[in-house]
């Protein structure tokens, strides 16, 4: 992926990336239809897009007020755009009515098919099931040869942003095997069957844009691979009970319902208890822990903070939980500089007693089960938060682990949680090295000046090739240090990186 594309992805929230990708894809589709390359009516497409966007926006706004929930216009627009690619364009009054009904059903499903204020099914998929079975309106016209190159680009950008390429490949791969096996069994030839799967079936759009939805998909890698494989298999073969077939939308809806118990499927309303500055321009926000909340050290939550006049980055972020499961509160660490988003501006203004909404627990950046495995952490700036959670957990559970921590900041004033790492040294022998790029003033005598490099790795951990490395921080730093480790002979299988969909 070109550096400019990665910079765009890293500087844009997940919802914005999906919204931009779908909007661009819709524009391409209308142009192709105008050129006669797609059989759908371009006028009908435009009417559908307008009807779906308006319906989803207003229905979501009304329902959010009725249920006293934060309204996210980006989410409603994304649902409208997905339905645009699934439903028949509004070439007749009936088609237009179906579009309005589908948009309303999609938004209603977020509030009525929910548990703990967290929706269970993909809204667009559910709406397509409801209107598609009796009317046949779920055409999935996006699955055409001329759309495929553009769908690959849009879907690829989304999959890269949310770091769920493996989930996409599992869905497509399993679907291809099932579809091909069924086609050959039915008397088809191999090559035409495979070509049909990609050129006439909406698998790329379905896998990269719908199956990857963070709220309804599992949050761990193994569960994602199983989930994607099963969705791919059952959406790729025409199983049916009477007149009801295993369409992509029905398969995804059933998979959503089957998998929701594996993740955090409720919204958490948490009250702020305290705020403290733990490093220069870095603040720790502590919230009351709701009853029954469970997570592993290193996992993240999606945080929603409604506020007036949100900027282009919206009202949602993903933050790693900085606290340990052993602690009585939920903590996050956030860097809030002079140039701040509207989200961080509102977060910074919160007072004890104010509430924030969280949900969508996920992440596989967690400690290995083997307590004898030697570990090494590299943190950059606020990327220290998952390690704060892990270290606190190791202390509280009295685990003996061989861990080395390299903490990279500009100056020692930017270092957070130094007292905790000193405590961990006494508790289980944590070896911490502060790597300061600008100044060592105020730092311990063994602090390093500059950046992590090969000789430094050998100094702080002579057995560094035998350790499992965890990297957390800005994406550019993570990629640079992953390249360094691989260049120094560390196996790729021993390198784990922290990433969550958005920030």
Cβ partners under 8 Å of residue 14, min gap 6: 161, 162, 214, 318, 501, 502
Joined tokens for residue 63: 């329902």
- 279-316: pLDDT as tens digits: 999 999 999 998 888 899 999 998 989 888 888 778 88
Cβ partners under 8 Å of residue 330, min gap 6: 270, 286, 287, 288, 289, 293, 301, 321, 323, 358
pLDDT at 217: 84
CA dihedral 439, 440, 441, 446 (to 10 degrees): 180
H-state helical runs in 116-247: 123-135, 148-162, 165-185, 190-199, 203-205, 221-236
Sheet with 300-304, side-by-side order of all strands = 316-320, 300-304, 355-362, 268-279, 282-288, 329-335
**What distance in Å separates the CA atoms of residue 141 and residue 248, rounded to the nearest whole number?**
13
Can you list the residues of the chain whose pLDDT is less than 50? 264, 501-503
**What distance in Å separates the CA atoms of residue 383 and residue 385, rounded to the nearest whole number?**
5
Strand 282-288 relative to strand 268-279, pairing: antiparallel
- 71-119: pLDDT as tens digits: 778 899 999 999 999 999 999 999 999 999 999 999 999 989 877 667 8
pLDDT at 266: 64
Domains 268-362 and 375-497 share a fold: no
Q: Is 328 helix (H, G, I), strand (E, B) or coil?
A: coil
Contact between 144 and 200 under an 8 Å Cβ cutoff? The reply is yes
pLDDT at 262: 59
**What distance in Å separates the CA atoms of residue 161 and residue 476, rounded to the nearest whole number?**
14
Contact between 309 and 378 under an 8 Å Cβ cutoff? The reply is no
Contact between 236 and 176 under an 8 Å Cβ cutoff? The reply is yes
Contact between 331 and 283 under an 8 Å Cβ cutoff? The reply is no
Nearest C-alpha neighbor of 255 from the set 237, 230, 225:
230
Contact between 95 and 89 under an 8 Å Cβ cutoff? The reply is yes
Contact between 266 and 115 under an 8 Å Cβ cutoff? The reply is yes
Cβ partners under 8 Å of residue 83, min gap 6: 52, 56, 99, 102, 103, 106, 124, 127, 128
Contact between 288 and 273 under an 8 Å Cβ cutoff? The reply is yes
**What distance in Å separates the CA atoms of residue 207 and residue 212, rounded to the nearest whole number?**
7
CA dihedral 382, 163, 27, 38 (to 10 degrees): 180
CA dihedral 221, 226, 227, 228 (to 10 degrees): 90
pLDDT at 307: 85
Q: Is 133 helix (H, G, I), strand (E, B) or coil?
A: helix
Contact between 403 and 376 under an 8 Å Cβ cutoff? The reply is yes
End-to-end CA distance of the chain: 20
- State which fold the 268-362 domain adopts: Elongation Factor Tu (Ef-tu); domain 3 (2.40.30)
**What distance in Å separates the CA atoms of residue 90 and residue 55, rounded to the nearest whole number?**
14
pTM for the structure as a whole: 0.80
338 backbone dihedrals φ, ψ, rounded to 5°: -70, -40
Sign (positive or negative) of CA dihedral 476, 480, 482, 483: positive
Domain 375-497 has CATH 3.40.50.720: no
Q: Name the DSSP class of 277.
A: E
Task: Report in angstroms the alpha-carbon separations of 462 from 356, 454, 457.
Answer: 45, 10, 7
Q: How far is CA 458 from the centre of its chain?
A: 35
Residue 334 host element (H or E): strand 329-335
Domain ranges of the chain: 13-262, 268-362, 375-497
pLDDT at 167: 95
């Amino acid at each position: 992926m070109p550096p400019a594309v990665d910079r765009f992805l890293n500087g844009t929230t997940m919802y914005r990336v999906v919204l931009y990708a779908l909007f661009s894809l819709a524009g391409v589709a209308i142009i192709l239809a105008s050129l006669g390359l797609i059989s759908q009516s371009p006028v009908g497409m435009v009417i559908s897009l307008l009807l779906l966007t308006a319906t989803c926006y207003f229905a979501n706004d009304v329902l959010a007020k009725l249920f006293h929930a934060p309204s996210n216009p980006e989410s409603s627009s994304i649902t409208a755009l997905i339905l645009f690619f699934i439903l028949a364009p509004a070439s007749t009054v009936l088609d237009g009515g179906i579009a309005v009904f589908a948009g309303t059903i999609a938004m209603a499903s977020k509030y009525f098919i929910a548990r703990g204020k967290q929706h269970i099914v993909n809204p667009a998929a559910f709406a397509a099931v409801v209107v598609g079975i009796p009317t046949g309106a779920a055409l999935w016209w996006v699955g055409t040869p001329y759309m495929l190159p553009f769908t690959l680009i849009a879907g690829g950008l989304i999959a890269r942003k949310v770091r769920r390429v493996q989930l996409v490949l599992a869905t497509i791969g399993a679907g291809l095997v099932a579809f091909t096996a069924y086609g050959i069994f039915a008397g088809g030839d191999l090559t035409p069957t495979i070509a049909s799967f990609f050129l006439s079936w909406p698998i790329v759009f379905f896998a990269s844009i719908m199956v990857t939805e963070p709220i309804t998909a599992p949050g761990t890698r193994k569960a994602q691979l199983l989930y994607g494989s099963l969705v791919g298999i059952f959406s790729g073969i025409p199983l049916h009970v009477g007149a009801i077939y295993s369409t992509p939308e029905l398969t995804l809806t059933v998979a959503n319902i089957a998998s929701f118990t594996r993740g955090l499927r409720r919204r958490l309303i948490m009250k702020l208890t305290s705020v403290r500055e733990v490093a220069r321009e870095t603040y720790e926000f502590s919230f009351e822990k709701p009853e029954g909340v469970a997570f592993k050290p290193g996992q993240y939550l999606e945080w929603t903070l409604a506020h007036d006049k949100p900027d282009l980055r919206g009202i949602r972020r993903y933050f790693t939980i900085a606290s340990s499961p052993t602690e009585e509160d939920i903590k996050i660490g956030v860097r809030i500089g002079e140039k701040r988003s509207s989200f961080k501006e509102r977060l910074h203004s919160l007072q004890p007693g104010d509430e924030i909404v969280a949900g969508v627990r996920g992440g596989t950046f967690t400690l290995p089960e083997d307590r004898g495995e030697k570990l090494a952490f590299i943190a950059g700036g606020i990327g220290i938060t998952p390690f704060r959670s892990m270290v606190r957990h190791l202390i509280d559970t009295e685990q003996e682990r061989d861990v080395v921590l390299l903490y990279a900041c500009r100056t020692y004033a930017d270092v957070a949680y130094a007292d905790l790492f000193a405590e961990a040294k006494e508790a289980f022998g944590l070896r911490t090295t502060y790597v300061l790029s600008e100044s060592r003033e105020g730092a311990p005598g063994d602090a390093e000046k500059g950046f992590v490099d090969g000789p430094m790795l050998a100094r702080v951990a002579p057995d560094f090739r035998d350790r499992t490395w965890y990297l957390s921080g800005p994406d550019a730093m993570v990629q640079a240090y992953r390249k360094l480790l691989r260049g120094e002979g560390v196996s790729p299988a021993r390198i784990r990186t922290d990433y969550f969909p958005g920030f």
